Structures are given as structure tokens and as C-alpha cells.
Amino acid sequence: MTCSVYYITFFFFFFFFFFLNYYCEAQNQKASALYVFGDSLVDVGNNNYLKLSIVKANHFPYGIDFPSKKPTGRFSNGKNAADFIAEELGLPTSPPYLSLVSESKANKDNVSIVGGASFASAGAGIFDGSDQRYKQSIPLRKQVDYYVEAHNEMLKQIGESALQEHLSSSIFTVVIGSNDLSGYFDSSNLRHKSTPQQYLDSMLFSLRAQLQRIYENGGRKFEIAGIGAVGCCPARRLKNNTECEAEINFWALKYNEGLKSMLQEWQSQNHGLAYTFFDTYAANDDLILNPSTHGFSEVRAACCGLGELRARAPCLPVTKFCSNRKDHVFWDQYHPTETASRILVDKIFNGPSQYTSPITLKELLHL
């Protein structure tokens, strides 16, 4: 082998392995942290710290399929969407923010959310008054207030440059809106004050304001979920002879259309902002219309509860629950089983494009 051929071969393999290593590192890239905002679909225990709240999943049989086999505050038989999103990102589940506050008080030190945090709260909505039926939750505005306070504390802890780098590679997940929509259709007072479209427009306006606050405090990569097929949950099927409630589903679709447009405009007006929108409604629809494809045999009734569709009463220690949770889409009156949540998050992370746009969470992670 001549000297020139030797060097050409050497450099070929050098650059080949260099780019192969770079590609593998990019594929294995992890988010710095996960920050979660939302309602009971992603609450991992914040409501356990709300003394006046009557909406808590801190009793059996919640958590029956969780690794600890104990209730954790998640409205699921096991893990929920927040857990699976963290897993896909290669991170541990973000702890409830109020648990961090409690620990900091006990240890007499400052709260740190550098490792991520969940601000989500069961019963929460975009509007402050969405939890009137539930007496106490943490509405989105207050969740963002908590984040801003914690952001300012992180600024003191690690400095502006390090914080900017940390947050720019973190994921901000927002799953909220179902309680607002349900609250509107369950309240004659709200329906008297505004039309459904006016109410949706107000929801989107308020949501954008809170998203902007997160952006102004370092958030750059967002995973934002639309509203699911609310009218197909067991509790609402009871209102319509076990069939999906068409009116609220129609407006859930309308809200998602408005949300997609709002996010596009929001991104165009904020430098460095990237997001993935998850069409929860379409993904829900797929589970309900094609259950056997995903291993389900029951799409109407809850697994845990009492009465017709096991939805006349909530999931309580005295209520019955199904023995095979993997064949049910719904765990209780309103929430998916662990199995359903896992399937939905796989679509959030990997697509296909009919569920996630303009990119998937996996693509957002690698930006």
C-alpha cells in the first residue's frame, strides 16, 4: 500500500467513526430536565399536599399496578403520562413541586427544581375558577407562579448562563383544558354568559399568556397536548345512554383546531421557541374505534367504580375494580389506565404525524 493510499484510508475511517460516534451521541441525547404543568392526567402527587382538596388519588386501589403497589396521588392504576414522558426522555419522573417545598421546609433550605418538577394538579384548569366543583387545586396561573418563583431561585443557585443553557435543553410539558371545557358544559351560568366559541377563544387567550410567561422565564422546548375525546369518558357516556357525548366532543375538536393555530402564531413571534403539539383527541379516537389493535376489549366502562359503566360512583376503597386492567382504556370515571397512557405517550414521542405536529417529541428533544 502506497503512503498516499494509507493516509486516505486512515482519514476515511477516522471521519467515519467520528461521525458515527457523533450520530450515536445525538440519538442518546437526554433532556436536562422535565417541567410539567397541567391537570389530573399528569398530576404525580401535588394534590396530596393540598389539605382542603377533595380530589386525591391517595387511597386504594389507585396505584395497584405502580411499582410500589401503593397509591401515589396519580389518577391511575399505575404510572401516568408524566411518568412515561420522563422515561422517553431518559429522565426520572419529575417530583411534585409541593413535595419539594415540603422537604425544603423540613430541611430549612431553598427549593431546587434543577432536576425537574411537576406543578400539575388534579382539577386544575386554564381558568382560576375551573376547580369550583373540587374546592381546591392549583390552576395554571398559580402553577406558572410557582415556576417563576423557582426559576428565580435557580438563578441564584447556578447563575444566569448555566440556567439559560439548562432550560434551553429542558422539556416543558403542558396538559390542560379538559376541566375548563367540562366546566362550561356543566354550568348553565357559564353557558348563559358566553357562546362555546367565545369561551374557547378565552381559554386560548389565557393559555397563551401563561405559555408566554414560561417562555420569558427560560422555557424553549414545549410539548403541548390538546383536549381528548372528553365526551367518551365513562362519566359523560352516562349522560348519553352509554354513547359518547357528541356536543362536548365537537367543541373539543374546535378547541384543538384553535390551539394548533395559536401555537403556530406564538412560535412565529418568539425567537428560539420550538414545540410539538399532540392531538390527544385523534389518539383517543384511535383507542376507542380500534381497541383490539391495541389489546383492549373494553372502551366504554371504567375499570374501577360502581353502577352502570362503573361510572355512577368514583373509584374508592369500597368500590370494585376489574382484574385485568390491561384490557380497559379507562381506569376510573375520567382517566386512562396505565396501559392506555403508555400507548398515548409512545405516539407523543414517536408519532406518526397524524398525532404530532409539526414535529414529534423525539425530534424536539434533538433540536
Beta strand pairing call for 34-38 and 171-175: parallel
Q: Which residues contact 350 (CB under 8 A, 6 or more apart)?
A: 360, 362
How far apart (Å, rounded) are the C-alpha atoms in residues 119 and 274? 21
The residue from 39, 40, 76, 130 that is catalytic is: 40
Instruction: Confirm if 360 and 346 have CB atoms less than 8 A apart.
Output: no
Among this protein's residues, is 40 annotated catalytic? Answer: yes
Q: Where are the beta strands (DSSP E) in the chain?
A: 34-38, 117-118, 171-175, 221-225, 274-278, 298-302, 304-305, 320-321, 328-330, 356-357
The C-alpha cell 428565580 sits at 152
**Which of the residues 43, 182, 206, 335 is marked catalytic?**
335
Grid cell, residue 91, equals 429522565
- 59 is known as an active-site residue: no
Give the DSSP letter of residue 53.
-
Please list the residues that pair with 328 across neighbouring strands.
298
| Catalytic-role residue among 39, 180, 279, 332 | 332
CA–CA separation, 191 and 178 (whole Å): 16
Residue 332 appears among annotated catalytic residues: yes
Distance from C-alpha of 2 to C-alpha of 120, rounded to nearest angstrom: 66
> What amino acid occupies position 228?
G
For residue 253, give the nearest of 223, 231, 224, 276 by alpha carbon: 231
Catalytic residues, by residue number, are 40, 332, 335
